[in-house]
Structure 1
């Protein structure tokens, strides 16, 4: 018996069936047709920057709802403004869905901050970040040269700013000005200004373009949005890295941008930047003329003072004859004393010579010889007594030492000597063994070397030695005569006697010429 219930036919519904993909793509087409392009205002949430693929994923939200957002890689590279976490923005793009997760999202083409408040918040956040890196530090700022030769200006070539700067420079101090044209407003403003600053710093004068001594980045006044390109991070970093002193003249007196903090000097206006960069030539010329007049007057006064001092010193000097009178008198006095001294010296030397000659006479020499002879005889008489006294003293000392040499002392010295002798004998035998071992090794080495270099080793390799009747080696065939008795020695000292059938004067027989064969070349 079957316990399962019998199948029953269920009623068929009139509602059409759709697959999941069909429903998902239908919803996608409906949303894209209904919302082609939209502008959405909201707060950026979950911002992590671009993905490794180059796409950026985040969320836009307000107080009641949120929507996923994506910026494809191609659109992200063209953005003039990058979103930041918590910033309120206005995003422009296309509303669509993602069938893979049943979510809808907005694909953003452009994004901009929502109002001046958001821009100010972003500006303050960026200022704190760059200040923390030390880009605004005072110790990084450079001094401007007092008299630059070339000035580089980064600004628009068609605006009133460049005309004001050129007019002010020509009025104050005409010099060479190089203009790097850039856009001072718009999406590409920041990149162009940064590239211009780095381009001026890259000049070295080798391409016919002089390297500027001062840079001026200038723009007229405008709103915060108009000046936003000079607040970009790339511009601030380029200004901070510039090796050329940089003057920032962006906006009017009350306008402030981030490049003003990174520049070496901030000017209130572009015209003020020109006044800061160059001095007034007329004032310099007047100052130089004044200094020249003061220098000329000072040199004249100095010459007059030195001339008066020279005259006073010349009046205090004595006449030339007075200066030479005393040395001339001293010279005459020394001349007279020299003649007298020479005569006195000759007389003293003659007297000393006569005294020495008087002492050298035969009687004096005989007396000296007799005195030395008597002294020698006295020493001869006293010598035996002195020798006997020395011998007695030495004998007493010998007896004293003999009395100290007892039998026990002699035995102790004998034992010490015997031990010392045994030790020395052992050392001698060890030294002899080492010496004999070294000599034996040296002898063995020399024996092996002698055997290697001897003629017997040559004979062992298959050669033979020819000796004459006097048992002397024969080195050349020219020394062998016909009929001479020769001895040939082989390895193992085996010898064989032979008789030379030809001498050195005989001509060896010519070899018979072989008849030509077929195929030989002539």
Structure 2
């Protein structure tokens, strides 16, 4: 009987396990003991294969822990893993039987305190500055008066209301709003996509391309503003061909987009002030320039008129030019009778001298002949003298005609008419320019009124508000405590389904009030 029983080998009571059984048991123990842990350490190796998963090492000065982030979790992490970053990883411990090792399946990853965030921010700033993205030479000047302004911000916050209010006070412009999340995991990709989306709009398309972009958000902690410190947002701002103003946080807050934007504004309200000038100041400047132009034209015409009068005073009068010739003519006319008498007397003396040697009969005959000749010549002397005097007067008048001031006066008159014509043309051109500028301003103001929502109300639409906010969904209206409908001619207040309503045993609902 005893021979039929086989003796057990040493240790035969210990159970035998397969490799898979041991691996499964270890897996159950580790996952049962560490279902949810938070581990602080420094990121070592970070690997991103084509599958989309992220494999990394968490280490300290004495140990290394392998970690994995599945693809679905990696896409929604607020902080992307980078080698050398100190983080706090939250997840669960498990094993990987294929390699007989344990690892941390990470579900959340955050920097280990504000110091780590600042170190990461400085690292990114250094890298982008080395690429030249912060240089002033690559930044574009802001347009003086943009026609369309694109705003990248949350549509429900106070920031967009402050910007629109400031633009309306200074110089109303057409505003396009691209709604984005301004904090959280979705902030960075949405802001980057909004900037690139505005930049991709074609000029003259169905949606107008903005002339200026404003990226705005209110103040907050460094964690709230971290989405604007992401490299994707900074690069999108640097690559944008539209001039961009960064207005993120308060005056003391600084984010990475502030360095790559074309201009940084301390607040969203200050960004609106940088975007447009003050319309009333422009009108005042235009009026002042118009007054200066009118004054300059009047002063120029006055100076030219004074110079013309000075030149006219420098010219001699026509009467002065004729005074000396007239005086000389009068002197010659006074000397003429005496000269005639002296000539006759000289001839008589010559006659007496010649007559002394003549015989009386011959002299008598010669005298008789001379008397006859003189008698014949004397009647001709007065007409000849008259003709000589008339010829001299004609020559004098001809010379005085050439010395007249009529050509100079005609030239002065022509220049005066040309100056007056140029002044009239300048006044007309200035009036046309002012009328054109005023017409453009009036057209822009009419366009603003046409594009406003009140013009839409006049075409038969209405705005529904619930608890003070604009409603666009039926579900929101159903949950509102009070409703308000705005028509073109007033508002109508109604009780909402979410508020107190009349029913069985209750009071009847209040009637809508039109105001």
Per the TM superposition, whether the score is higher than 0.5 is yes
Q: CA deviation digits over 1:28-76, x for unaligned, max 9? A: 12222332232222211122x3024433222112233321112233332
What is the TM-score of this pair, normalised by structure 1?
A: 0.57
Q: CA deviation digits over 1:178-229, x for unaligned, max 9? A: 2111111110111111111111111224433222221111110000000000
Runs of 4+ in 1 over 4 A off after TM superposition: 310-319, 321-326
The residue number in structure 1 matching 2:95 is 97
Q: CA deviation digits over 1:54-108, x for unaligned, max 9? A: 3322211223332111223333233332112221111122211111222111122
Range with bigger deviation, 105-114 or 237-246: 105-114
The residue number in structure 1 matching 2:198 is 200
The residue number in structure 2 matching 1:178 is 176
The residue number in structure 1 matching 2:285 is 287
The residue number in structure 2 matching 1:75 is 73
Q: What CA distance in whole angstroms lies between the structure 2 residues aligned with 1:159 and 1:8? A: 84
- Aligned match of 2:128 in 113, 127, 130? 130
The residue number in structure 2 matching 1:188 is 186
2:76 and 2:186 in contact (8 A); partners too: no
Q: CA deviation digits over 1:416-436, x for unaligned, max 9? A: xxxxxxxxxxxxxxxxxxxxx
The residue number in structure 2 matching 1:226 is 224
The residue number in structure 1 matching 2:9 is 10
The residue number in structure 2 matching 1:19 is 18
Range with bigger deviation, 28-37 or 304-313: 304-313
Unmatched 5+ stretches in structure 2:
1-5, 319-397, 404-515
The residue number in structure 2 matching 1:266 is 264
Range with bigger deviation, 130-139 or 142-151: 142-151
The residue number in structure 1 matching 2:212 is 214
> How far has the Cα of 1:155 moved from its partner?
0.8
Q: CA deviation digits over 1:395-447, x for unaligned, max 9? A: xxxxxxxxxxxxxxxxxxxxxxxxxxxxxxxxxxxxxxxxxxxxxxxxxxxxx
Q: What CA distance in whole angstroms lies between the structure 2 residues aligned with 1:317 and 1:212? A: 70
- Aligned-pair Cα RMSD in Å: 2.4
2:182 and 2:217 in contact (8 A); partners too: yes
Using a 3 Å threshold, how does the CA distance of structure 1 residues 8 and 159 change in structure 2: closer, same or farther? closer
Is 1:43 matched with 2:42?
yes
Count of aligned pairs: 318
> How far has the Cα of 1:10 moved from its partner?
3.5
Unmatched 5+ stretches in structure 1:
1-6, 327-522
Q: How does 1:88-487 map to 2 (within 5 A)?
A: 88-310=86-308, 316=315, 325=402
Tell me the secondary structure at the aligned position of residue 104 of structure 2.
strand
Using a 3 Å threshold, how does the CA distance of structure 1 residues 214 and 22 change in structure 2: closer, same or farther? same
Tell me the secondary structure at the aligned position of residue 43 of structure 1.
strand
Q: How does 1:497-508 map to 2 (within 5 A)?
A: none
Q: What CA distance in whole angstroms lies between the structure 2 residues aligned with 1:10 and 1:309? A: 137
What is the TM-score of this pair, normalised by structure 2?
A: 0.58
Tell me the secondary structure at the aligned position of residue 99 of structure 2.
coil
Tell me the secondary structure at the aligned position of residue 243 of structure 1.
coil
> How far has the Cα of 1:245 moved from its partner?
1.0
Q: What CA distance in whole angstroms lies between the structure 1 residues aligned with 2:399 and 2:213? A: 74
> How far has the Cα of 1:292 moved from its partner?
0.7
Q: What CA distance in whole angstroms lies between the structure 1 residues aligned with 2:25 and 2:178? A: 55
Q: What CA distance in whole angstroms lies between the structure 1 residues aligned with 2:11 and 2:37? A: 43
Using a 3 Å threshold, how does the CA distance of structure 1 residues 314 and 80 change in structure 2: closer, same or farther? same
